[in-house]
Structure 1
Amino acid sequence: MEVVGQVPRRRLGAAGPEVPVFGLGSWNTWDRMETGAAVELVRAAVDHGVNLFDVAHYNFGPHAENARTDVIFGRVAAEAGLRREDYLLCGKLWLWDYPASSLSDALKVALGRIGTDRADMVVAGDFFGELDVRRVVADVAEMVAAGLFTSWGVNNWSAADLRLAIGFARAEGLVPPSFAQLKYSVARRSVPEGEPYGGLFADGLGLQASDVLEGGILAGKLNPERKIGADPGGIRERIRDSFPALKRVADGFGATPAQVAVAYCLTHPATASVLVGVSRREQFDDNLGALDLLARHGDELRAAVADLWADRDVVAPDASWGTEAP
Structure 2
Amino acid sequence: MSALVPTRTLGPGGPEVPVFALGSWNSWDRMTPEGAVALVRRAAEVGAAFFDVAYYNMGPHAENARTDILFGEAVRTAGLRREDYLLCGKLWLWEYPAQSFADQMDVSLERIGVESADLVVVGDYFGEVDVQRIVTDVAAEIGKGRFASWGVNNWAIGDVWAALDFADAEGLTPPTFAQLKYGLVRRTMAEGSYYGELFDSGRLALQASDVFEGGILAGRLTPSRKIGADVGGIREAIVAAYPEVERIAASVDATPTQLGLAFALSHPATANVLFGVSRLAQLEDNLGALALLDRVGAEAIRAQTADLWLDRTINPDGTWTP
TM over 0.5: yes
After superposition, give the CA deviation of every residue in 1:268-287 in whole Å (9 maximum; x if it has no partner).
11101101101111110110
Structure 2 equivalent of residue 100 of structure 1: 98
Read off the aligned partner of 1:288 and give its amino acid letter: L
Q: Structure 1 residue aligned with 2:58, among 57, 60, 82?
A: 60
Equivalent residue runs for 1:36-115 within 5 Å: 36-115=34-113
Structure 2 equivalent of residue 271 of structure 1: 270
Read off the aligned partner of 2:118 and give its amino acid letter: D
Q: Structure 2 residue aligned with 1:323, among 303, 318, 321?
A: 318
- Indicate the RMSD between aligned Cα atoms, in angstroms: 0.9
Structure 1 equivalent of residue 182 of structure 2: 184
How many Å separate the matches in 2 of 1:4 and 1:19? 18
Question: Which structure has more RCO (C-alpha within 8 Å, separation ≥ 6)?
Answer: 1
How many Å separate the matches in 2 of 1:184 and 1:58? 22
How many Å separate the matches in 2 of 1:157 and 1:206? 14
After superposition, give the CA deviation of every residue in 1:283-321 in whole Å (9 maximum; x if it has no partner).
10110000011011122111111111111102x2xx3xx
Structure 2 equivalent of residue 242 of structure 1: 241
Structure 2 equivalent of residue 306 of structure 1: 306
Structure 2 equivalent of residue 253 of structure 1: 252
SS state of the match for residue 289, structure 1?
A: helix
Please tell me whether residue 195 in structure 1 is matched to residue 193 in structure 2: yes
How many Å separate the matches in 1 of 2:242 and 2:95? 37
Structure 1 equivalent of residue 23 of structure 2: 25
SS state of the match for residue 90, structure 2?
A: strand
Please tell me whether residue 209 in structure 1 is matched to residue 204 in structure 2: no
> What is the percentage of aligned positions where both structures have the same residue?
59
Structure 2 equivalent of residue 293 of structure 1: 292
**Does the CA contact (< 8 Å) of 2:11 and 2:202 recur in 1?**
no
Following TM superposition, by how much is the alpha carbon of 1:4 offset from its aligned partner in structure 2, in angstroms? 4.7
How many Å separate the matches in 2 of 1:100 and 1:267? 40
**Does the CA contact (< 8 Å) of 2:202 and 2:269 recur in 1?**
no
Read off the aligned partner of 1:206 and give its amino acid letter: A
Read off the aligned partner of 1:325 and give its amino acid letter: W
Mark the CA change 1:21 to 1:282 in structure 2 (over 3 Å): closer, same or farther.
same
How many Å separate the matches in 2 of 1:64 and 1:250? 37
Please tell me whether residue 6 in structure 1 is matched to residue 4 in structure 2: yes
How many Å separate the matches in 2 of 1:164 and 1:253? 43
Following TM superposition, by how much is the alpha carbon of 1:86 offset from its aligned partner in structure 2, in angstroms? 0.6
SS state of the match for residue 225, structure 2?
A: coil
SS state of the match for residue 195, structure 1?
A: coil
Q: Structure 2 residue aligned with 1:168, among 163, 166, 169?
A: 166
After superposition, give the CA deviation of every residue in 1:236-285 in whole Å (9 maximum; x if it has no partner).
11111100000000000000000000000000111011011011111101
SS state of the match for residue 286, structure 2?
A: helix
Following TM superposition, by how much is the alpha carbon of 1:98 offset from its aligned partner in structure 2, in angstroms? 1.1
Read off the aligned partner of 2:284 and give its amino acid letter: D
Q: Number of residues paired by the alignment?
A: 319
Following TM superposition, by how much is the alpha carbon of 1:230 offset from its aligned partner in structure 2, in angstroms? 1.0
Runs of 4 or more above 6 Å deviation? none
Following TM superposition, by how much is the alpha carbon of 1:196 offset from its aligned partner in structure 2, in angstroms? 3.0
Read off the aligned partner of 1:178 and give its amino acid letter: T
Read off the aligned partner of 1:173 and give its amino acid letter: G
How many Å separate the matches in 2 of 1:238 and 1:154? 28
How many Å separate the matches in 1 of 2:23 and 2:202? 27
**Does the CA contact (< 8 Å) of 1:94 and 1:124 recur in 2?**
yes
Structure 1 equivalent of residue 157 of structure 2: 159
**Does the CA contact (< 8 Å) of 1:4 and 1:288 recur in 2?**
no
Following TM superposition, by how much is the alpha carbon of 1:195 offset from its aligned partner in structure 2, in angstroms? 2.2
Read off the aligned partner of 1:324 and give its amino acid letter: T
Following TM superposition, by how much is the alpha carbon of 1:47 offset from its aligned partner in structure 2, in angstroms? 0.3
How many Å separate the matches in 2 of 1:35 and 1:226? 20
**Does the CA contact (< 8 Å) of 1:4 and 1:289 recur in 2?**
no
**Does the CA contact (< 8 Å) of 1:108 and 1:117 recur in 2?**
no
Structure 1 equivalent of residue 280 of structure 2: 281
How many Å separate the matches in 2 of 1:130 and 1:159? 12
Structure 2 equivalent of residue 123 of structure 1: 121
